[in-house]
Amino acid sequence: MTALRDIELTTITGEATTLGATGGDVTLVVNVASKCGLTPQYSALEELHRRFADRGFSVCGFPANDFAGQEPGTEAEIAEFCSVTYDVTFPMFAKVVATGEDRHPLYSELIAQQPEAAGDPESYRERLRGFGLTPTEAPEVLWNFEKFLIGRDGSVVARFAPQVTPDDPMVISAIEAALSA
């Protein structure tokens, strides 16, 4: 098992880093996209980040263009969009691939540690099929805004399907439990 906090990453502004450098003992990793129907989740992600930051929590956004080309922008365009549209202050990273053979090592490890998402991912798969889209199959990341919660010990303690909003009681409860551990 690879230590999640030690996997090499690149910030959205091009600096080398790791999750260990984000300052969050408890971290919510989210694959994000600017042109998705779920994009308004950025607001609730920012609210979570601000609400729990003083307790050792951080949201970390990973733009991915894996799903219907919904994150086509450059890192600079993504950073500007997040800042101007949603006042995002949580750490953002360079674009990654979250699915398939070219999947970033971070996502390979997240999936290995938590292959199943809470929040009825099957109903979301059916919804995507209804739009004429071909969804990924488990354990792959299903769509934009899938969430992985990493606990203080550096392991994945929860995974939430894309349609589970950041302010859902299930997510809040998992964050509070991880912060109390």
**Radius of gyration, alpha carbons of the chain:** 15
Q: Is 60 an annotated catalytic residue?
A: no
Indicate which residue of 11, 17, 36, 97 is catalytic. Answer: 36
In this structure, what token pair is assigned to residue 138?
A: 């488990």
Q: Which residues contact 48 (CB under 8 A, 6 or more apart)?
A: 28, 57, 59, 166, 167, 171, 172, 175
User: Amino acid identity, residue 1?
Assistant: M
Q: Whose CA is closest to 114, among 64, 73, 87, 151?
A: 151
How far apart (Å, rounded) are the C-alpha atoms in residues 109 and 103?
10
Helix (H, G, I), strand (E, B) or coil at 76: helix
Q: Where in the sequence numbering do the catalytic residues fall? A: 36
